[in-house]
Each structure stands twice: as C-alpha cells, then as structure tokens.
Structure 1
C-alpha cells in the first residue's frame, strides 16, 4: 500500500493490523505520531490555509541563520503538517452521497439517528463529519423522512427548502415537479422566499411553476413505500415519468395528451398489470419491444 494511503487510513482510524505494521515501518512514523496530539485539537471550521502557510514560512525564515542541518528536518515536518491538514480538511468537508438506480430503493440513517427511505433514481447527500455545525441534507428525487425525536435539519432541493421540526414527511423533487406531504408533526416549506407550514395531512405541490391545491392526505405513509404509485388528478406525464423510473423503460406517444389529468395507481413489481392500470382509464393501447413502450390513442 502506498505511503499516502496508509496516512489517510491512519487519520480515519481505519488501519487493520497488517496495515498498522506497515504504517509503523514508515521512516517518519515517529513524526506522524507526535503530530497526532496536535491534530486532536485542530478544528476544521477554524483552519486557514493562509495562516498555516504564513506560519510555516515564518518558521523556515527564522532558521536561515541557524546551521543548515536544522533546515531539512523542519521542512520535513512542515510538509507532513501540510499533508495532514489537507487530508483532515478534505475528510471533514467531504459529503456522504447515496444514489439509487432505476427500480431501486434504499434506507439511510442520518447522524442524528433519523432515517431516510430513498426512492428510485434519487440522490441524497449530507456531511457526516460536520453534522453538528451544518445540519443540511440535499435531495434530488424522492425520499421519505422519519425524524428522530428532538432532531432538526433542512432538506435542500433545487425547487425549495424543507425545514424539519420533528416529523414524518415525504419530499419529491423532479423536473418541474416539487411536492412535500406531512404525515406527522410539522414541516416548513420555503419556495420563492415564502414559507408554508404543513400539519399532518397537508401537502404542498408545485407543477411547472404553478401551485396546485390538493385534498387532505389520509394515508399514514407514501404509497411508494409499499411498491405502489398513486396519483390524484395529476398530469399524465408525471405518471409516465414515475413508470420509467420504476421499470427502466421509455415511452413513445401517439395521439396521447401528456397534460391530461390522471387518477389511479400502478404497482412496481408487475409491468403488465401496471401498463393496463395506466392505459385502460384513458382508453389507450400499448405495445412493448424490450425496454420501449408505445402508447397510442385510436
């Protein structure tokens, strides 16, 4: 294993026994251990590259009048410090990012023990190491949040910000579509600099830049957690987009109005049944060719 990799894993306390023995054999092992006590008091948010550089340069300058044999060890220690500071700063600002593929769902636990269920073709990111200072989660796609008691954080999307007050809620942010449904507790949704408070059963929906009024939500959790997608008077294009995410297919339309409102449901585990459920209400026909589906209105 390369020297840089050993140092990185050492900083993360992630060395196994064999790797630790290799780390101990590094020629600058003792210098690194001495630096460890200094790094314990180092805080990422107070770290300044300029200050560290100026400090190092000042130290080097002060040795110019000393014998040359002192310069080499000092430069060596300065180089180690620079590497350690850089690695520490990098690891404390690095985001944890989770991606789901088409038809994939996964569950994530946040640093405060809140849980997130991530729907298909979605991205969730947060900074685990800096969670105490920056409690933000970024989302592209759809996720259901179950917030731990007493916790709070913000869910940031391209369409708006959801402020958590301790609750269970669902956020869906797709192209030209932004929806938040509160199932328990209270959430605040900020869109275009205006905040809307949602209580259990309340929804917030923006489609193509327009706010849509919705009926009270009676379900206790979103339907997709049970491998099913439900729609109430939503444009048919949103139905097709969700279908494509769950079944890895693409639609071609003939004489089909994508803006026509659709009310209905489809399962995520039976494509033939799902196709019938989205085409019969609108009297459409369909034909399949591998991952391509043609929908047609006669």
Structure 2
C-alpha cells in the first residue's frame, strides 16, 4: 500500500471511528493530526444530521492531498474548524434556557434534569438547555463547580479554557482568569484543551495556569476543600489566591509592592476574615491593614 493510500485509509477509518491500536498510532503521526483533532473536538459538541461516512470521505477526498500538498489541506481544515466552533457556540448559546449564578461569598447546590448534582462555588455561573437535556447533557461553566454526574450518555462541561467529558463520575472544574483546573474524584474524566486530550483517573488533577501546565498529580481526598468551607492551594501564584479570596469575601484586596507571582501553599477559611488573612499573609511574611471593604497587603 502506497503512503498516500495508507494515509487516506487512516483518515477514512478515523471518520468512521474504526481505528485499531496500531492504526491509531500511525494516525497520530500524520502531519495534519493536530488540525484533524481540532476539527473533531469542535464538532463533537453538537449533534449533526445523519450522514454517510463513504459519502463524506468522497467529498473530502479531493482535498486530502499527500504531504507535498499540505499547505492546501491545512487552511481548509482550519476554516472547517473555525466554522464548526462558531456553529457550536451559536447552537449552544442560542439554545440555553436555564442559567444560574452565584454571588460573591455564596455557594448553592443544583439538581439537573437527570438528577445529576452540581455544587456551584462563589461568583460562578452555570447554563444549560433544560428542554433538550435528554439528548444533550451539556453545561457551560464560568467559575468553579463540583459535579456528581448520574450515569447515562456523555456529559460535557464547556469552559472558556477547555472541555471536560464524562459518563457517570464525580469531578471538580475550576475556570477563572488564566486558571483552568480539573480534578477527578471518581470514574474517568476526559479533558480537552488546546486541541489536546488527557484522561484523569480518580485522585488526578490537571492544572493550566497562565498558559502553562503546572501540575498533574495525585491527591488523596474525596471532594474539593471548598465544599468544606475553605480554599486550598498547592504551589499556586499569589495573584490567583488573592482572586479566590475576593470571590469568598465581599472585599477588594489592594497590592502595594508585592510580587504576586510568588507561589503559595496553604489554605484559608471562608467564614473568618481575620483568620483567613493571617493564613495567607503569615507564610509569605506579609502584613495587611483593613479600611472598610478594602484590604491593603504589604511587605513586612
């Protein structure tokens, strides 16, 4: 089999979701693998009309050129991916009929139509299509939430930084400014980010902070600390700790001459402001002063 025929056969089998282990490894070595995965990720978030794999392949075949023609294929795939992403965003945002928001310093528990439970952390929002839930278990999340998903078809959590897909499991998703974190507590979680995919087993945590993957480690806990009334951090830049502090307390934290890229390991409570401030400032040798609803952090 020539290289071109082998390549076409791999792409056709990929479209049909019919690659074996050896073929999957060969497919991952294709020059346009990343572009194909981007398109696949964008398209998987919505149900398309039924179609024939053979007809689809015949339609795409004229554009599936060998390696020397890659400049033509790549723009076509990029355009297709952009159109797919645009359609999926329009589809979901135009069909969301339920939206729930939590204010600063407040958490709520939500029961979804399939009896899945979502605990929504402070200053967060969750939206989903209630009327079409049985066909599309999809939620949009901004902020942080802990999910206990009832068994059933694929359950997707879409955030600005990535997507989480599961069947029935327990996991936590946090998406704040330049901060994306997923922790699996039960079952198996699939995380999609930057056209890459990663599977998390129970106890595993994935963090993407300021554009960098910082941690992928084991944690021996059964639920996130914030459900117990405290925020916990492990080598996290101080600016993200401060941002979470402001989510849990109705205050504004001002920074004098502090390096907020410093890493913080520790926790703070959600129900005692002074104790929480001491928990953050003492380990970092910082001082603080209060003025109304403002806190000034400064070096000792």
TM range (shorter): 0.5 to 0.7
- CA–CA distance in 2 between the matches of 1:215 and 1:256? 29
CA contact (8 A) 2:175 2:181 kept: yes
Aligned to 1:113, what secondary structure does the other structure show? coil
* Alpha-carbon distance change, 94 to 252 in structure 1, aligned in 2, over 3 angstroms: closer
Deviation at 1:162, TM superposition (A): 0.3
Partner of 2:210: 208
* Alpha-carbon distance change, 94 to 200 in structure 1, aligned in 2, over 3 angstroms: closer
Deviations 1:33-61 (CA, angstroms, capped at 9, x unpaired): xxxxxxxxxxxx99xxxxxxxxxxxxxxx
1:175 lines up with 2:177 in the alignment:
yes
Aligned to 1:232, what secondary structure does the other structure show? strand
Partner of 2:298: 296
Aligned to 2:168, what secondary structure does the other structure show? strand
Deviation at 1:94, TM superposition (A): 4.6
* Alpha-carbon distance change, 246 to 200 in structure 1, aligned in 2, over 3 angstroms: same
CA contact (8 A) 1:93 1:129 kept: no
Aligned to 2:136, what secondary structure does the other structure show? coil
Structure 2's unaligned 5+ residue stretches are 1-47, 50-93
Partner of 1:103: 105
Structure 2 residue aligned with 1:281, among 275, 280, 283?
Answer: 283
Partner of 1:263: 265
Partner of 2:231: 229
CA contact (8 A) 1:160 1:192 kept: yes
CA contact (8 A) 2:205 2:216 kept: yes
Deviations 1:240-279 (CA, angstroms, capped at 9, x unpaired): 0010010011111122110000001100000000001100
* Alpha-carbon distance change, 151 to 109 in structure 1, aligned in 2, over 3 angstroms: farther
Partner of 1:189: 191
Structure 1 residue aligned with 2:115, among 113, 116, 119?
Answer: 113
CA contact (8 A) 2:255 2:297 kept: yes
TM-score by length of 2: 0.67
TM-score by length of 1: 0.68
Partner of 2:23: none
- CA–CA distance in 1 between the matches of 2:264 and 2:96? 42
Alignment length (residue pairs): 209
1:128 lines up with 2:125 in the alignment:
no
- CA–CA distance in 2 between the matches of 1:100 and 1:94? 18
- CA–CA distance in 1 between the matches of 2:273 and 2:215? 31
